[in-house]
């Protein structure tokens, strides 16, 4: 049985009745097609441990998307162009709240300046590829407001047109527990979020 993340690939998106071809035809010109967690990593990548460092490459995984070849920016642009060719406003991408190469634990964490350099490189790739929406979701620094602020600051400098969505993993509001703490975090994140997603508000 494939996990949901392992089922995100070129066939599911673009073949025949693939999502990009059949979803929301009347309104897709005003919608971004978002590829969620898994699009830029090999199938079977774990959600914890050293595998976390693989996330955030922002390059379509070669086995998932074999038709998109060339340089990292070229592969991402081909992906973006394929989405736009089907009438969507553009391609939006899931991004972890850490940078590619960041590792769990204090010894594995990239220093802030190194993280900024990696972010600037990835944002330049997205700018060249015509990708202008980042969904910054879970990751090594998910609950660290300062790290999220840094990601937005780098976007403002290196990719001024990039729409930055912050989404902090949390349970539905009906099960939140420390709702005052969550409200305080939300208030902190709002000033540097172009879009703020409340995460799940009810059980699926």
N- to C-terminal Cα separation, the chain: 21
pTM: 0.87
Task: Quote the mean pLDDT of the chain.
Answer: 87
Q: What is the DSSP letter of 166?
A: E
Residue 5 and residue 38 in contact, taking contact as beta carbons nearer than 8 Å: yes
Q: Which residue has the tokens 């390059």?
A: 59
pLDDT at 1: 41
Spans in the chain with pLDDT lower than 70: 1-2, 48-50, 105-108, 172-176, 200-204
- Residue 117 to residue 54: CA distance in whole angstroms: 17
pLDDT for 107:
66
Looking at residue 90, what is its pLDDT?
97
Q: Phi first, then psi: what are they for 163, rounded to 5°?
A: -85, 125
- 38 near 57, Cβ under 8 Å? no
Rounded-to-integer distance, Cα 53 and Cα 31, Å = 30
pLDDT at site 2: 52
């Amino acid at each position: 049985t494939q996990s949901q993340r392992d089922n995100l690939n070129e066939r599911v998106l673009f073949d025949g009745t693939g999502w990009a071809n059949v979803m929301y035809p009347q309104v897709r010109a005003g919608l971004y097609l978002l590829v969620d967690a898994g699009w830029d990593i090999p199938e079977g990548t774990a959600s914890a441990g050293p595998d976390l460092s693989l996330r955030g490459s922002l390059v379509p995984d070669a086995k998932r998307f074999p038709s998109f070849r060339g340089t990292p920016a070229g592969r991402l642009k081909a992906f973006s162009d394929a989405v736009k060719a089907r009438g969507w406003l553009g391609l939006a991408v899931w991004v972890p709240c850490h940078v590619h190469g960041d590792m769990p634990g204090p010894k594995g964490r990239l220093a802030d300046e190194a993280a900024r350099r990696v972010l600037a490189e990835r944002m330049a790739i997205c700018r060249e590829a015509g990708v202008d929406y980042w969904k910054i979701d879970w990751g090594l620094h998910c609950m660290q407001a300062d790290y999220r602020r840094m990601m937005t600051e780098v976007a403002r400098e290196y990719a001024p047109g990039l729409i930055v969505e912050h989404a902090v993993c949390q349970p539905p509001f009906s099960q939140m527990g420390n709702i005052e703490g969550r409200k305080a975090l939300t208030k902190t994140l709002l000033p540097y979020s172009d879009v703020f997603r409340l995460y799940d508000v009810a059980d699926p």
